[in-house]
Chain A
Amino acid sequence: MWWIAIKELRNLLYDIKFILTFIVAATLILISIANGYIVYSGEKAAAEEVESASLARMSASSSYESIEAETVRRPHKLSIFDIGISGLLGRSCTVWSRGTREIQGSRYEADPVLAVFGELDLTFTVTYILSLIAILFGFGSISGERESGTLSLMLAGPTRRTSVVLGKLLGGFIPLALLYLMPLMLGLAGLMLLGDISFTAAEWIGLGLMSLAMLLYLLVFHSLAVAMSALTRSSFTSFMVCLLIWVACVAVIPRGAVQLGAQISPSMNRFEYTREIWAIHRSFSRERIRAMADFFQEKNPQMTEFRKVFDEFQNTVGSKIDERRQAALDRLFESYVLERNNLTSTAANLSRISPSACLAFSLNGLTSTGPELLSRFEKAVRTYLDVFAAYQDAMLEKHADEVEAARRTRSYETKPGPDGYMTVEILDRKPTELDISELPRFEGFDLPVEAAVEGVLLDLGALSFYALLLIAIAYVAFLRYDVR
């Protein structure tokens, strides 16, 4: 078997076609890594800009009541290799005393023209181009040799058919693996030296798993080609069949399956969802007003004590009502996200027939660029909202006097002017500087390593299954192959 493999390798390596293919593939891999790096740096810079602008705005606010924090999504370092859907997802979401706003500021939102053709990242290069090369390396391995007559020569010797087919598989796969790994190493070196990127231990594990997935994917297409080669008489036919399967797997099935998934488990209409939110707000608003009126009726305060009594109401009855409202909103949110996640998983499960979909999903968990990123971001924002609200309350209590003073200062005063007519005096107010040093930071919401690895295992398993199945088919077909 090894002898056959080495023979295949040597044939390949001295072939000008292989050298050309290697150069083309290596160039594409390096270009796609460079492109991924450019996009990643852009996203990182944008996220930092949003965050610093938000901090500046917050410290220029007049009071802790009115500050608005930005929860910013930072790009995952491995998204250099798999941009995924991170272009269409917003980067930040505003959090303030009344809740959260919309997630917005996605890359495609500002420039939808970037979305028209999809991204040139490593995942794309492997999914579309290296898989074609994998087919090219294998489609003639058996039927081609039969045509040139060398197959019967090979089998005339003492070599068993088993070793031949395994040798061919190996001999074709090793250069393929090198075709992927060598430019990747070069790209990684470039990133670390020129791009100033460093990977943590968890990220190295992610890189390793990513490469494992990519190599398994290439093995699937290579074994497909060898299997077809062993099932047909002419290499031309085997190539055609492989190409058609390639088109189906890489282009057609994932798209169609996703649409089918959306049909089978549709998600809640977005507009209905926002209407439900407003309905909840409205109904609790009425309840709140009534409770406030009752409270004030009971206390019967002077007009001057309005603020004090209002704060008392807010701290007791008001906050309980707010809690219940929040619980209702949370329930609604959970069901909305659940429906969306169902759509995502149905679409994913249907599309797993195609190895390219399996590859895409295996990378999603590792690079945090899959469809579930949106739901995770939303959940993380809501968690942060609680932390933020607690911070606001603490600050308001601690700096209660300053807050009271800030409320009373205005930037202008209406009073009679020197000529007897009413005029406005614009006061020279000191620019406020709020102390936000204790503001809780919005932590990232990347999946912990264990969860990411778990997510990958399913798709790695699927890819391995396809590879083994095709190897088995190649094996069996070759054992019965008529070499004349």
Chain B
Amino acid sequence: MWKIAGKEISELLFSAKFVVIAAATFVLIGLSLFNGYTVYEIETRAVTVGERITEDEYASRESYEQLSYSGAKVYRSPEKLAILDIGASGYIGRRSSTGTWSRGMLSESRYGQDPALGLFGELDLTFIVGSVLSLFALLFSYGSVCGERERGTLRLLLSNSLSRSSVIVGKLLGASIPIVMVYLVPLLLGVAVLTIWTGIDFSSDEWLRLAAMVAIQVVYLLMFTAMSVAVSALTRSGFASFLVCLLLWIMFIAIIPKLTVQGAAQVTPTMSAEEYENRAHRLWQGYSSTYPKFLKEAFDEARLTEDEMEERGREVYELAHDRFMGHQREEREKLNREFRMKRRSLMSTATAFSMASPSSCLRLSSQALARTGPMAMEILEEEIQRYSREFAEWTKAMRDRYESDDQVRGNYIRFSRNEDGTMKIEIDEDYEPPQLDLSSMPRFTPVMPEVQALSSDALPYLGMLLFATVLFFAIAFVAFIRYDAR
């Protein structure tokens, strides 16, 4: 068995086909890592600029009340593992506001700013492995059985005392090892160069996730190898075998993923962007009908007489306003939750449907581990929602402490009334807005899932790929036992 494997490998190694493909793989993996790193750098720089701008904006706010109205601005830092799998991160927004009227969702994505970047898709490692290396795997071994039959060497091989089973297992091994080596060597080299040259620092969690990604990619390549050997053992001519492999490749890589996602979209009802906007608008326009109710409630509780109005009327108005804003925020959160839930259900349906394609399994599991997929966006938006509440509580506390009603707030311009009924305008040229004390302001530190949680997300995909690989191995095995070697 091992001798067969060794023979297969040495045959392959010295062919022009191997040299060309190995060289091409080397170049492509290097390019993809370089590209991934470049994009990572650009995004990091953009976010850093954004964060600095936001710090300035915070400093220029004149009151905690203003701050609570405009809310905090949070940024999505790029994932380090996006160097290997850019995933959907070009489509996902990079910034979100948390003010009362904000949508609490990430906006301003990379492709949203420069759609040209989104025109063709990304050149990342997952793409290279998913679309190109799988084809190379087919090229390596589509002729492993039928090709030998055509050359006549298969009969010679079987005329020895070797059993058919050891031959086929040897062939499978001999086909698997080269492609895995051709993949792993440039990859490990590339990662080493990346970490040393750029000084980028992966945490231990990231190393584990990277290892998981590599493992899944290896299984993926093994699956395609097994598939092509199986097809080889089911056909009579090398050419036919290759055509069938090519057809399967096109179906798995291109057709099925797209169809399953479209199918899922047709089958799952989601809340469209315009429905969301519509309901959000209605919330906002409800101001004139909902606010008076809160006001009435507040007044009925306060039981003020007309004389007390001048003194304490303002309190009541502010209480009603706070309650109303709280209500708006709640309703907004409810709407956001519903939107997110529907989006999630589409994601799970699409995920389930796309188990049918190994390429989808690869891509979705890669994105899960790299945290660059739609799921990561969901989690981040939930974290933003949580932070939004935290921030609102903090600004309220600061307002209560520093901005009580009897403080007269200064301003750049002030309108008041003269004794003769005309308007008095005062401009305070020396007016300096008060410096807010932001030292106790809570910062946005999202808690993202780590390798354990993500691995369990990726596990069903890995399972599917392993199942498919074992299935194709079995088919190759059985087909070869019955193969007519003449």
Contact = CB atoms under 8 A, between A and B. Distances in A.
A255 to B, nearest CB: 4
Contacts of B92: 112
Contact of A251 (B131, B262, B316, B427): B131
Interface string A279-308: 000000010011011001100111110100
B123 A259 contact: yes
A300 B421 CA distance: 10
Contact of B49 (A262, A263, A269): A269
Interface string A123-142: 01000110010001000000
Interface in B257-304: 257-259, 261-262, 264-266, 270-278, 281, 285, 288-289, 291-293, 295-296, 299-300, 302-304
A271 B296 contact: no
A243 B316 CA distance: 76
B303 A421 contact: yes
A192 B423 CA distance: 69
B152 interface: no
A451 interface: no
Interface string B450-463: 00000000000000
A113 B374 contact: yes
A119 B273 contact: no
B120 A360 contact: yes
Contacts of B275: 49
Given A414-B299, A422-B305, A370 B274 contact: no
Contact of B88 (A116, A426, A429): A116
A477 interface: no
B91 A108 contact: yes
Interface stretch (B111-119, B213-221, B473-481): B111-119
A472 to B, nearest CB: 25
A116 B183 CA distance: 24
Given A120-B258, A263-B38, A422-B302, A301 B292 contact: no
A467 B350 CA distance: 40
A445 interface: no
Nearest to A306: B423
A424 B292 contact: yes
A301 B422 contact: yes
Contacts of B471: none
Contacts of A270: 46, 108, 113
B274 A271 contact: no
A14 interface: no
A377 to B, nearest CB: 10
Contacts of A286: 412
Contacts of A116: 87-88, 257, 261, 363-364, 367, 373-374
A183 interface: no
A89 B117 CA distance: 13
A113 B346 contact: yes
Interface string B106-132: 011101111111111111000100011
Contacts, number: 271
B302 A35 contact: no
Interface string A356-387: 01001000000000110110000000000000
Interface string B333-362: 000000100010011001100000000100
Nearest to A305: B423
Given A256-B123, A263-B38, A60 B285 contact: yes
A122 interface: no
Interface in A222-249: 240, 243-244, 247
A111 B135 CA distance: 30
Contact of A115 (B88, B105, B295): B88
B154 interface: no
Contact of B53 (A266, A271, A347): A271
Q: What's the dominant secondary structure at chain A's contact region?
A: helix
A420 B313 CA distance: 15
Given A112-B374, A129-B254, A412-B292, A340 B343 contact: no
B262 A35 contact: yes
A202 interface: no
Interface size on B, as a range, is 35 or more
Interface string A409-431: 00110101000111110100100
Contacts of A258: 116-117, 119-120
A415 B56 CA distance: 45
B392 to A, nearest CB: 22
B84 to A, nearest CB: 15
Contacts of B305: 416, 420-422
Interface size on A, as a range, is 35 or more
A54 to B, nearest CB: 9
Contact of A351 (B120, B285, B304, B351): B120
Contact of B412 (A289, A344, A374): A289
B39 A259 contact: yes
B17 interface: yes
A24 interface: yes
A52 to B, nearest CB: 10
A24 B247 contact: yes
B95 interface: yes
B296 A426 contact: yes
Contacts of B377: 112
Given A357-B120, A360-B120, A112 B273 contact: no
B114 A344 contact: yes
Contacts of B339: 110
B189 interface: no
Contacts of A115: 88, 91
Interface stretch (A98-106, A174-182, A206-214, A326-334): A98-106
B258 A119 contact: yes
A408 interface: no
B50 interface: yes
A483 interface: no
18 contacts: A28-B255, A85-B111, A106-B273, A110-B276, A110-B343, A114-B350, A116-B373, A118-B258, A132-B246, A240-B17, A251-B132, A296-B423, A297-B425, A301-B423, A371-B119, A421-B300, A422-B299, A424-B295
Given A252-B31, A263-B38, A269-B45, 16 more contacts: A24-B247, A57-B281, A91-B274, A111-B346, A113-B351, A115-B91, A117-B257, A120-B262, A256-B31, A259-B38, A259-B39, A269-B50, A371-B115, A411-B289, A414-B299, A424-B292
Q: Which 4 A-B pairs have the closest CB atoms?
A: A412-B292, A271-B50, A424-B296, A371-B116
